[in-house]
Structure 1
């Protein structure tokens, strides 16, 4: 028996004497971050971390505490803190939460650590900047670029005998070059996500970042008006972020969701299909079990525009008499919540040129340049966000446009989806979407 298991068994014995149930979530990992600026190594960070969070269930009450020290003494102190919190913190509508019993979980083998020499990793980090600088004379600098290597793990144990662990490793990197021509300056970029070092192509990533930045030089102001808009596959993830909170049963229960009471109703365009799939290895939120140890599954959220399910954990499935979807989400230092994993919009059958030529004038939205928290009002669904992109007339690109604000309501936007593209955004995101054509949105520009 490993030390963690042995220590936890002693905590379980304490909990049994106290008439309580206990669950422990441990997470941590290792990371390496490398970055070059002006052809010199600017960042070299190597870190390791681990943390344990205990949840004590005493009747209908729950208490939490956490520690970065996994010794028996520290875990026992943390258990007692969580127990005292359970005795102190009470909720009017609390229900006794069951713990997950041991059961078979989906098999996901994503832990394949490689022995890659440091100089090879440094070369990737160096190339991300160097290739950008060498690609075009209009590239002035690369303000944001870097290479990351990560190993992460999560383990859940509880007093029902559950003990499950998931590890994974991966590489990420990015290059965002700044292009300048005359008075016009623009920055865009590209990134990568790879589970094998051999799949990294730093030169390709850098050149695509350069292409994107240069393509936006010389942007003109967009005239104010209503336009059909193709929200780029890399940017529709912002729309998914807007609606993700509405799908939480906890948010519904607390009257914070605009989708409350709308199960079974047609909310979006019939062409809009959305699932949450924690087992899709293309997404970065892949996992075989949730933060309570419940086996992951695929959950249909929208089918032909109809809202089919909310996301639940054990508490809210019981409290609201809903199907349990295994979406418990927390860190060791936080209380139990509900969160999505890989949210995936079903592709359509249209190419990007077909989407851009469907209406006389179409804006291809390439970037939301403002922060979501400042441009989106969750209580109403209204958004008003600075954006940039390209204007198309009769399918022909008229050039880049900027200095405009796109406004609307996120639920209206879902209803006005006209067509969807046949390609997904690049890997490296938990939100997976194609290009999306929306019939009409308001643009405030020149």
Structure 2
């Protein structure tokens, strides 16, 4: 018996009596996390979660409530809370908010292929993520962070228009961050993996790359202050996309918070910069056949040869702003309706990383943002001033690691100053899928 559906039907019946429309988002899953420390099993955690979020619509007003108890009594009580919230919240809008009507969505059976893997094999992966790092080089003295994760997640959306969509996915992920020491000098770096098949996990490759990165940072010097050409590494360019991804939201545009407001159809980036939102890209973690109100997912062109082509919308803002409905509703059961991208994919170019690093006499290979966006990005202006680390190249030759510098600029100017794009993508496991990107000049404050 489908208790979720039968319980929701009672909620929908009550909503009709109340003159309301209702949507229920149910998410949950299972997760296994294993970690080793000092060659001993340190953590082993298996969890199961399930949560339902109700959105009730009364004309132009919306109310939300959520519960972790999916019994009929609890869901009806949660509906009542959401209904009261909808009655209380007065937006001042007059246009009624609509719900998505039932539509066919793309089948994505490749997302959910559970495997019967012996626990001993999972433990072995977790053990090797630490053990292989320690064995690769005597300068690796510790692996402060490493772990293996197995995840199964599901999402289901039902509404009073008759919509009922569901999808599941399973995957494996892990990470290792070795600490390397040379005398008094110590540095930590790491590597991770994301796999949809257990046999695709390569612990030797992951640990080898993690150790290589940590060792490469030893002996870092300070960078002289100045303007330099910079290659933002394919694993770091996602931070640039994080700076701009809210600007695509039709809600942010409508509220005057987006620097892309009024720029639709304009060339505001380099013609080398092409960007799409692709919810079907299985290398990405934001893959989905429908959005968080049940609308069928679709690819959306965001930049074409530097021209801003689209904003991202949910049904409410597509109607409110007379925009194409791109199916980018985003929310969790405990949050309100918002708009967000799925997998943002930057088109590759034809250059190798080495060719990009040899483009100028001096080039900074930016290999790490220290502290993320909170360390120095101002969304209202696009200005950033962020601590970073990397390597200095002269005439294509690596002169060694550099650190303790701050890279500054404006993200819109950065997009305009893209000179070339690499031909290889970052590893799977990120919702931002990026190549290496050459920027002709940025300001660096160092020694």
- With normalisation by structure 2, the TM-score equals 0.99
In 2, Cα distance between the equivalents of 1:220 and 1:75?
59
Which residue of 2 is the match for residue 186 of structure 1? 187
Residue in 1 aligned with 2:164? 163
Matches within 5 A, 1:420-439: 420-439=421-440
Alignment partner, residue 301 of structure 1: 302
Maintained 8 Å contact 2:375/2:387:
no
What's the TM-score once normalised by structure 1's chain length? 0.99
Q: Distance in 2 between matches of 1:94 and 1:138?
A: 66
1:258-293 deviations in whole A, cap 9, x for unaligned?
A: 111110111100110010011111111000000000
Equivalent-residue separation in structure 2 for 1:215 and 1:282 (angstroms): 27
Aligned to 1:138: 139
- Distance of 2:348 and 2:96 partners within structure 1: 41
2:328 aligns with: 327
Residue 383 of structure 1 pairs with residue 384 of structure 2? yes
Per the TM alignment, residue 183 of structure 1 is displaced from its structure 2 partner at its CA by: 2.4
**C-alpha separation in 2, matches of 1:340 and 1:185:** 38
Shift of 1:374: 2.8
What is the aligned partner in structure 1 of residue 208 from structure 2? 207
Q: Does 1:97 align with 2:83?
A: no
Contact between 1:274 and 1:346, CA under 8 Å: does it hold in 2? yes
CA contact 1:231–1:364 (8 Å) conserved in 2: yes
- Paired residues of 2:60 and 2:93 also in contact (CA < 8 A): no
2:444 aligns to what? 443
User: Take 1:311 and 1:93, find their aligned partners in 2: how far apart are those partners?
Assistant: 21
Cα distance in 2 between the residues matched to 1:212 and 1:95 = 55
2:273 match: 272
* Aligned 8 A contact 2:239 2:372 in 1: no
User: Does structure 2 conserve the Cα–Cα contact (< 8 Å) formed by 1:95 and 1:315?
Assistant: no
- Match for residue 122 of structure 2? 121
Q: Distance in 1 between matches of 2:235 and 2:96?
A: 42
Hey, what does 1:233 align to over in structure 2? 234
Q: Which residue of 1 aligns with 2:51?
A: 51
**What's the CA shift string for 1:221-272, capped at 9, x where partnerless?**
1110000000000000000000001111111111111111110111100110
Contact 1:268 1:306 in 2 (8 A): yes
Higher deviation after alignment, 235-244 or 214-223: 214-223
Distance 1:442 1:147 in 2: 39
Q: Distance in 2 between matches of 1:409 and 1:95?
A: 37
Contact 2:385 2:407 in 1 (8 A): yes
What residue ranges of structure 2 are gaps of 5+ in the alignment?
A: none
Give the CA deviation at 1:168: 0.3
State the 1:94 CA deviation.
5.2
Secondary structure of 2:242's aligned partner: helix
Question: Which segments of 5 or more consecutive residues in structure 1 lack a partner in the other structure?
Answer: none
| Residue aligning to 1:345 | 346
Deviations 1:316-356 (A, max 9, x none): 11111111000000000011000110000000000011100
Q: In 1, Cα distance between the equivalents of 2:372 and 2:357?
A: 26
Question: What is the CA-CA distance between 1:370 and the residue it aligns to?
Answer: 2.1
Structure 1: how far apart are the matches of 2:51 and 2:94? 27
Structure 1 runs (4+) greater than 6 angstroms displaced: none
How far residue 372 of structure 1 moved from its aligned partner, in angstroms, is 1.1
Alignment CA distance shift 1:94-1:286 (3 Å): farther
C-alpha separation between the residues in 2 aligned to 1:72 and 1:334? 21
Shift of 1:93: 3.0
Q: How many residues align?
A: 446
Say yes or no: does 1:78 pair with 2:85. Answer: no
Query: How far apart in 2 are the matches of 1:370 and 1:420?
Result: 25
1:368 corresponds in structure 2 to 369
Aligned to 1:196: 197
Q: Does 2:316 match 1:315?
A: yes
CA distance in 1, matches of 2:151, 2:179: 27
Residue aligned with 1:7, SS: helix
Q: Alpha carbons of 1:417 and 1:15: their partners in 2 closer, same or farther (altered >3 Å)? A: same
Cα deviations across residues 74-128 of structure 1 (Å, max 9, x unaligned)?
0100111111111110112353121111111011111111111111100000000
Contact 1:248 1:339 in 2 (8 A): yes
SS at the partner of 1:123? helix
| C-alpha distance in structure 2 between counterparts of 1:301 and 1:14, whole Å | 41
Whole-Å Cα distance in 1 between the matches of residues 98 and 166 of structure 2? 20
Cα distance in structure 2, aligned partners of 1:401 and 1:179: 16
Does the 8 A contact of 1:382 with 1:408 survive in 2? yes
Report if aligned partners of 2:147, 2:175 keep a CA contact under 8 Å in 1.
yes
Residues 170/226 of structure 1: CA separation in 2 closer, same or farther (3 Å cut): same
Corresponding residue for residue 27 of structure 1? 27
Query: Secondary structure in 1 aligned to 2:349?
Result: coil
* Secondary structure of residue in 1 paired with 2:293: coil
State the distance in 2 between where 1:66 and 1:227 align: 50
Residue number in structure 1 paired with 2:12: 12
